[in-house]
Structure 1
Amino acid sequence: MSKLLVKPKDGHGLVTHITPQAADWEYVGFDLHKLRPADTVGAQTGDREICLVFVSGQGSVSIGGNDLGLLGERLSPFDGVPAAVYIPGGSNWQVTARSDVELAVCSAPDTVHNLPPRIIAPDNLSKETRGSGTNTRYVTNILPEDQPAQSLLVVEVITPGGHTSSYPPHKHDQDNLPHESRLEETYYHRLNPPQGFGFQRVYTDDRSLDEAMAVEDGDVTLVPRGYHPCAACHGYDLYYLNVMAGPRRTWKFHNAAEHEWLLDT
């Protein structure tokens, strides 16, 4: 199995735990908790900021003992938009599930601790459609670069069955602004119906990295560098939650030159 493919643990609780150390990079962390009603999870952020994303389900959130109320509206990631919470470094947080909850904890460095926590309400999320034809996909910007954070960028995408995504292939692995930014990235994949599968390739121009992976429901793929297109198989819609972070908080990508002609069609 590819070292870039992370399979979830069975059962409930912390089913996926990706640290910068485990991923052999510097910035992005990603945890996925599956909670039953009344289950509670929480942590101290330390020198990392986090974005909690209710992938599905509903729960109450508190930060530093302050109750933010009940968040989350959708039953699955394919049904509506998420609720999310931004939490800076140096904070304590806690989530108590009201229903079955799938909670993503997206993290990146924050040594400044100068931003307040805030709810990212569904009504405040921007949505867009990218691509055309069988390259159409639907994007929800959860924590884009025009919203306050130190390092984190968070977005979710739904790719209909039979379509491609993150395509034409693009990369963001060079600290070369304004042309390209260096960003590590994780993809948390879900399939609808869940028995489906899709594909993702991660590769560099010189092919020193070239991994092609079949992704199943609940898998996470790591993108330390290189191009990283996805494909959803016929009959199975593909959801993914992207977490990005790097030395500069901006998303500037470079398209693979040999496939850039696709943008003209």
Structure 2
Amino acid sequence: MSPLLVKPKKDSDTYHSISPESANWEYLNFEARQLKLGAQWKWDTEENELVIVLLSGNFKVTSDKGNWETVNGRKDVFSGVAHTLYLPRNTNFTLEATSANLDIAYGWCAVDEDFPPKFVTPEDTPVVIFGGDNATRQFNDLVPPGFGCSKMVCREVYTPSGNWSSFPAHKHDERILDDEGNVLEPVQEETYFYKFQKPEAYAIQQVYTKDRSLDEIVRPRHDDVVMIPKGFHPVVAEHGFHCYYLNFLAGTDQCLANTTDPDHEWIYDSWSEKDKRLPLVTAEMNKK
């Protein structure tokens, strides 16, 4: 099995735990956790900023920076849009499950700036239909560029059955600035956390560098994580099954700038229409 593909842990509430040490990179930490009704998770962010994403269920958070509660959490990632909670450095909090089966994912990284906490509901989450033809997908921008944080970026992506995603292939592993000092490409580490509607479903993801010193093809299934330390990283969803993945990114800059594989750049001008199956989820679905 590729070292980039991480399978979920069995018999553990924290079924994923990826750190700079385990991933052999510098910035990004990622975990996924399931809690039963009334169970609590207590934590101190210390020198890190933290982003918590509600995958399914409901929770309430009490902290020394404020209190928040979800009331219309989705039953799964294909039944609505996420609630997102951003917490800054030096926040002591308790998260409690207020539903029978709570599923959350969260990413964090060390920072040297302070920003206010922010709770984003499904109704306030920007939704973008991007791409075209059989490379159309849906972005729910949970923590987009300009969010008001130091390094974290977070987005959930819905790719319809048979479509390509993260395509044309792109990378963000070299910091490049233009003449005015604007970031054309940052150094960012990234996790792809996958969910599917059925256990037999899968996606196919390639991770490669131009010189092919890294060239891996992996087949993530439900609850798998693919780590992107560098290189281009396109995805295709298996025919017959819609694909969900949650991206956390952290690195030198809080942005989504990237460099497209020059062999694929022409594809941007080739699209003639959007896939009419999108959007796959809306904030209205959270109310049902």
Normalised by the size of structure 1, how large is the TM-score?
A: 0.96
Give, in whole Å, the separation in 2 of the partners of 1:199 and 1:170: 16
Give the counterpart letter for 2:73 in structure 1: E
Query: Within 5 Å, which residues of 2 pair with 1:229-248?
Result: 229-248=234-253
Contact 2:111-2:150 at 8 Å conserved across structures: yes
* Correspondence for 1:255 among 257, 260, 271: 260
Distance 1:15 1:133, change over 3 A: same
- Summarize the alignment of residues 166-181 of structure 1 with structure 2, pairs less than 5 Å apart: 166-177=166-177, 178-181=183-186
Measured in 2, the distance between the counterparts of 1:235 and 1:191 equals: 11
In 2: Cα distance, 1:169 partner to 1:118 partner? 32
What is the aligned partner in structure 2 of residue 110 from structure 1? Answer: 111
Q: Does residue 190 of the first structure (1) align with residue 191 of the second (2)?
A: no
Aligned to 2:123: 123
Q: Which residue of 2 aligns with 1:47?
A: 47
Q: Which residue of the partner structure matches residue 274 of structure 2?
A: none
- Kept in 1: contact 2:64–2:92 (CA 8 A): yes
Structure 1 residues 110 and 11, CA gap change in structure 2 (3 angstroms): same
Alignment of 1:2-13 (within 5 A): 2-13=2-13
1:111 shift after superposition: 2.5
- Cα deviation for residue 65 of structure 1 reads 7.7
Deviating above 3 A after TM superposition, structure 1's stretches of 4 or more consecutive aligned residues are none
Q: Deviations over 1:73-100 (max 9, x none)?
A: 2111111111111001111122111221
Counterparts of residues 5-154 of structure 1 (less than 5 Å): 5-64=5-64, 66-99=66-99, 100-112=101-113, 114-154=114-154
Contact kept, 8 Å, 2:70 with 2:83, in 1: the verdict is no
CA contact (8 A) 2:146 2:254 kept: no
Q: Aligned with 1:258: secondary structure?
A: coil
1:41 shift after superposition: 1.1
Pick aligned residue for 2:212 from 207, 214, 218: 207
| Structure 1 residue 142: Cα displacement | 0.3
Secondary structure, counterpart of 2:14 in structure 1: strand
TM-score w.r.t. structure 2 length?
Answer: 0.88
1:107–1:71 Cα change, 3 Å: farther
Instruction: Tell me, in whole angstroms, the C-alpha distance in 2 between the residues paired with 1:226 and 1:116.
Output: 33
1:193 CA displacement: 2.0
Q: Answer yes or no: is the 8 Å Cα contact 2:85–2:117 preserved in 1.
A: yes
Partner Cα distance (2:245, 2:69) in 1: 26
The residue that corresponds to 2:273 in the other structure is: none
Measured in 1, the distance between the counterparts of 2:39 and 2:200 equals 27
Q: Aligned AA for 2:239?
A: H
Q: Which residue of 1 aligns with 2:277?
A: none
- How far off its partner does 1:19 sit? 0.7
**Counterpart residue type for residue 135 of structure 2:** N
Q: Matched residue of 1:22: which SS?
A: helix
Q: Does 1:225 align with 2:230?
A: yes
AA aligned opposite 1:32: A
| Contact preservation (8 Å) 1:164, 1:232 | yes
Output the CA distance in 2 between the equivalents of 1:2 and 1:184: 17
State the alpha-carbon separation in 1 of the partners of residues 25 and 49 from structure 2: 17
**What number of residue pairs does the alignment pair up?**
264
How far the C-alpha of 1:264 sits from its partner, in A, is 1.6
Instruction: Please tell me the residue identity of whatever aligns with 2:59.
Output: G
* Secondary structure of residue in 1 paired with 2:220: strand
- Structure 2 alignment gaps of length 5 or more: 178-182, 271-288
Gaps of 5+ in 1: none
SS at match of 2:147: coil
Query: Does structure 2 retain, via aligned residues, the 8 Å contact 1:56–1:72?
Result: no
Q: Tell me how far 1:179 sits from its aligned partner.
A: 2.3
